[in-house]
Amino acid sequence: MRPSPDYRFSHNRALSQPKTSSRRPMYPSGYRTLVTPTSFIAALALLLTLFHGSVNASESVMLEPFQSEYAVDYSGFRAARTISLEKDGEEYILRSTTRLKGAARLTGYGPIYEVSRFTLQDSVIRPSLYSIGEDKPNPKRDIRIEFDWDSGTSSGYAKGEERSFALEPNIQDPLSFDLMARLLLSEGKRDFVLKVHEGHRVRSYHFIEQEEEAIKVASRKIPATRYFIDRNSSRELYYWFSNNPKQVPLQIRQRHEQKTKGTVTLTKSTLLD
């Protein structure tokens, strides 16, 4: 799965390739996202279907195309993140692009492109391909994961090593788990666990409801509920989801040793129109 000299070309080409049950070994590709961060900036991929039967009302709302913009602040470094969902035939593509701003641009990172391609089966998001990287390939950071549901295994490359894991029914990738959580919240679930394939490992994300708060987006305050995402990590992850039927992620916050390390706040979204 080593990226071609032109990362974006190989990235788009891979997305258009049909899934097959026989796969060739992949070559290096591995980035950390917000959910597995040692570098919040390199990890900003935090912050989704093939239908068998009809789609219920909550799924129909959640899977509508959208675009959301977020302001990112990590220890004084700033970035802008755009997330969008679109339909491509029988599949969906969730994209995230993060661009550093101000002095952070001098680091040489970015833009960071994150893509999750998935289908929906029995009200569960099934990822088929996930990738994250920059314009130029970086084997130490790029991540690429292919989910082969026919064989029941995943294959990919992250942190310089090839990895393979057995697929569990509700397993998600570092980008799709956000939307899968919204689907469950829209169904009234308030305490649940998702398995997330992070490239080099699979971790349990336990969503625990905490309390209601109002989050300011642009010039208005929006009622929201805060959730602690227990990942068995010293880096605490919190999500604020709006209380409306679309369960829009309004804010994401990461804390470490009782200090806020990074915040991602919604600034604009078609989901709020």
Pick from 132, 228, 118, 97: which is nearest to 171 by CA?
Answer: 118
Task: Report the distance separating Cα 60 and Cα 154, nearest Å.
Answer: 28
Task: Report the distance separating Cα 156 and Cα 170, nearest Å.
Answer: 18
pLDDT digits (tens, 9 = 90+) for 111-167: 999 999 999 998 899 999 999 999 888 888 899 999 999 999 999 889 888 989 999
Domain containing residue 72: 7-14+26-272
Residue-level pLDDT at 30: 40
Tokens 């755009």 sit at which residue? 82
Domain-located, residue 19: no
Residue-level pLDDT at 58: 62
Residue-level pLDDT at 110: 74
Residue-level pLDDT at 57: 55
Verify cis geometry, omega within 30 degrees of 0, for the bond prior to 28.
no
Per DSSP, the residues of 34-52 read TTS-SSTTTT--------S
Domain-located, residue 196: yes
Number of domains in the chain: 1
pLDDT digits (tens, 9 = 90+) for 220-258: 999 999 999 999 999 999 999 999 889 999 999 999 998
pLDDT digits (tens, 9 = 90+) for 194-226: 999 999 999 999 999 999 999 999 889 999 999
pLDDT above 50 for 8: no
Residue-level pLDDT at 173: 97
Residue-level pLDDT at 134: 92
Task: Report the distance separating Cα 239 and Cα 246, nearest Å.
Answer: 15
Residue-level pLDDT at 34: 43
Domain-located, residue 162: yes
| Tokens coding 131 | 């990738």
Residue-level pLDDT at 104: 61
Please indicate whether residue 58 or residue 21 has the higher confidence score (pLDDT): 58
Average pLDDT, whole number, for the chain?
A: 82
Residue-level pLDDT at 75: 80
pLDDT digits (tens, 9 = 90+) for 99-112: 998 766 656 677 99
Residue-level pLDDT at 56: 55
pLDDT digits (tens, 9 = 90+) for 28-51: 334 444 443 444 444 444 433 323
Domain-located, residue 97: yes
Domain-located, residue 37: yes
Task: Report the distance separating Cα 139 and Cα 91, nearest Å.
Answer: 28
Task: Report the distance separating Cα 132 and Cα 174, nearest Å.
Answer: 10
Residue-level pLDDT at 107: 67
